Structure 1
Amino acid sequence: MAAAAGLLRATVGLAAASSLHRPGLELRRAGAAAAAAAASFTSARRSYGSEAREEEELRVRYLDDEHKGIVVLGLNRPHAKNALNKNLLKMMSKAVDALKSDKKVRTVIFRSEVPGIFCAGADLKERAKMHSSEVSSFVSKARAAINEMANLPVPTIAALDGIALGGGLELALACDIRVAASSAKMGLVETKLAIIPGAGGTQRLPRTIGVSLAKELIFSARVVDGEEAKSIGLISHVVQQNEAGDAAYRRALALAREFLPQGPVAMRVAKLAINQGMEVDLVTGLAIEEACYAQTIPTKDRIEGLLAFKEKRPPHYKGE
């Protein structure tokens, strides 16, 4: 039960061309394998209903007190191993749309409310009921939701306290920082699931760990645990799982608190400069940085930061 409770199942595979338009036998078998693997990671330490109401499939929590400014998005589909369905994608898009224009939001943590699993990928049971013409629309919406997450102007952290399969891994890759929990008593269960075609996995993975290694993982559909994921740069931090099964979330929360004292405008433009700069040559990237830096010049954050540096004291930002 505790064994591998925080295992990151970064399984990467490619769907056959025929699978782009209809869920085939291989995907159905992969879905069944994913469900079986996920079931072995559930924990009795936290109690969840057998099925969440639709409006609760994504829980949005605005933290307060010393965590004010941190927002937690929690996947909550225990009966489906947090698989991505139409409703969940719709809720994610709605939540992200609200967050991106909220100036009080400083960091977003993406986690699971279900013990032992982050996300099992696409909801293949729902996909099996779709007409072939609906599948393309579903994939486009999945891609859009993940892109919206990636384009949030504030730092985002994925807390992986369980397995991440297919689209679940792609969700994590869309976040700026990934934290995974590991266990010294892991029992690996081979699970194979194809990446949602066109949702971004073949593009984000090589940008994260390098082209050659990304190809190796994709071609082999290899399963990697938290320790290996850390060694190849897939995640930033790996922590020992705790009794509550939320060690990755706790580490993500600690990281988010480190971000809070920083100037909000500076954080936003820094993320923008990094994201855009990585897609161009160095000279163009430096020009992007200059343009972004110019946005911080008239702000109270910059003035306060300069005063704090001069006085050698912690800054006391008043907000934007």
Structure 2
Amino acid sequence: MDYQLLAYKQEDGVAYITINRPEVRNALSNRLVDELEEVISQIEKNEELRAVVITGAGDKAFMSGADIRELVERDAIIGRKHTRQRQELFSRIENLNIPVIAAVNGYAIGAGLELSMACTFRIASENAKFAASEVKLGIIPGAGGTQRLTRLVGKAKALEMILFGDIIDAGEALRIGLVNKVVPQDKLMEEVSAWVKKIKALPKLAIQYAKESVNRGANLGLEQGLAHESYLFALACTTQDKKEGVAAFLEKGRRTLLENNI
């Protein structure tokens, strides 16, 4: 596919997706959804990748929401079709085998908030703003917002954000647990790079299994979640990474004992 509304590159085991509609604050259009689906298909097939970074072009917006011009045309049938397509796309992003970092560089409103919440981590610049503002348009979040926001910040805060649609700043987003870290605008990608470096230094399968266990467990009862965790732990015990990790730990302990004449 010839990408018109996003930029995509792979570099040193990392996939970088930049939403590239700065003239409309990177709003999510139907065409952009199609392009994101194609990019995610490429990422799903690439076993060499260790992380994904998603951001928006410019310094004003990560993604400002859905394209209002297209919203005008939606009736019940089209609305159902589009929300299901976007829900499935964001679930694919959430459930990728590798971590996904949202570098939130400005407004993350409506669909932008929903996209950021589908990512594993959210690192925000100090000028970032967040809102589930759909109610002000006479609709509700439709790409996972009512579900993921509740799971991230709790029912009370999620209801406040969804029912009032007010914008919160990066500091408040950090306080309620919506984002992982807030940094100055000019340090955003530097911080993202530091997180990517941490991810790449860790065993890939352990990261994959841990992420899957948390994501699946969030939607299961405790007993089912524990059973799935046990299954993934057992799988991890069969990997070369586990053998090398344990051996390295034991060797480090042996050297420490020798160095201290113990």
1:208 alignment partner, one of 149, 152, 168: 152
- Give deviations 1:154-199, integer Å, cap 9, x for gaps: 111111011111000000011111111115xx9x9x9954476431
CA contact (8 A) 1:107 1:155 kept: yes
Q: Which residue pairs with 1:135 in the alignment? A: 79
Cα distance in 2 between the residues matched to 1:132 and 1:279: 28
Q: Which residue pairs with 2:246 in the alignment? A: 306
Q: Which residue pairs with 1:57 in the alignment? A: 5
CA contact (8 A) 2:105 2:188 kept: yes
Evaluate the alpha carbon distance shift between residue 278 and residue 115 of structure 1 in structure 2; reply closer, same or farther with a 3 A threshold.
same
1:108 alignment partner, one of 35, 52, 56: 52
Q: Which residue pairs with 1:258 in the alignment? A: 198
Cα distance in 1 between the residues matched to 2:170 and 2:215: 25
Q: Which residue pairs with 1:95 in the alignment? A: 39
Superposed, 1:1-320 pairs within 5 Å as 55-63=3-11, 68-129=12-73, 133-182=77-126, 192-194=133-135, 197-242=141-186, 247-312=187-252
Cα distance in 2 between the residues matched to 1:304 and 1:90: 41
Instruction: Return the structure number with greater helix share.
Output: 2
CA contact (8 A) 1:70 1:107 kept: yes
CA contact (8 A) 1:167 1:196 kept: no
Partner letter of residue 208 of structure 1? Answer: L
Secondary structure, counterpart of 1:312 in structure 2 = helix
TM-score with structure 1 setting the length: 0.72
CA contact (8 A) 1:161 1:249 kept: no
Cα distance in 1 between the residues matched to 2:234 and 2:132: 49
Cα distance in 2 between the residues matched to 1:130 and 1:231: 36
Q: Which residue pairs with 2:259 in the alignment? A: none
Q: CA deviation at 1:93?
A: 1.0
CA contact (8 A) 1:273 1:285 kept: yes
Q: CA deviation at 1:298?
A: 2.4
Evaluate the alpha carbon distance shift between residue 262 and residue 221 of structure 1 in structure 2; reply closer, same or farther with a 3 A threshold.
same
Evaluate the alpha carbon distance shift between residue 196 and residue 218 of structure 1 in structure 2; reply closer, same or farther with a 3 A threshold.
closer
Partner letter of residue 251 of structure 1? Answer: E
Partner letter of residue 298 of structure 1? Answer: T
CA contact (8 A) 2:104 2:125 kept: yes
Secondary structure, counterpart of 1:159 in structure 2 = strand
> Of the two structures, which has the highest relative contact order with CA contacts closer than 8 Å and spacing of 6 or more?
1
Aligned residues: 248
Evaluate the alpha carbon distance shift between residue 104 and residue 135 of structure 1 in structure 2; reply closer, same or farther with a 3 A threshold.
same
Q: CA deviation at 1:139?
A: 2.0
Q: Which residue pairs with 1:14 in the alignment? A: none
Q: Identity, % of aligned pairs? A: 31
Cα distance in 1 between the residues matched to 2:149 and 2:39: 25
CA contact (8 A) 1:62 1:70 kept: yes
RMSD between aligned residues: 2.3
CA contact (8 A) 1:109 1:253 kept: no
List alignment gaps of at least 5 residues for structure 1. 1-53, 314-320
- Give deviations 1:69-120, integer Å, cap 9, x for gaps: 2211110012222111111101111111221232111111111123211111
Q: Which residue pairs with 1:30 in the alignment? A: none
List alignment gaps of at least 5 residues for structure 2. 254-262
Secondary structure, counterpart of 1:99 in structure 2 = helix
Partner letter of residue 166 of structure 1? Answer: G
Partner letter of residue 273 of structure 1? Answer: S
Evaluate the alpha carbon distance shift between residue 82 and residue 127 of structure 1 in structure 2; reply closer, same or farther with a 3 A threshold.
same
Secondary structure, counterpart of 2:3 in structure 1 = helix
Evaluate the alpha carbon distance shift between residue 292 and residue 192 of structure 1 in structure 2; reply closer, same or farther with a 3 A threshold.
closer
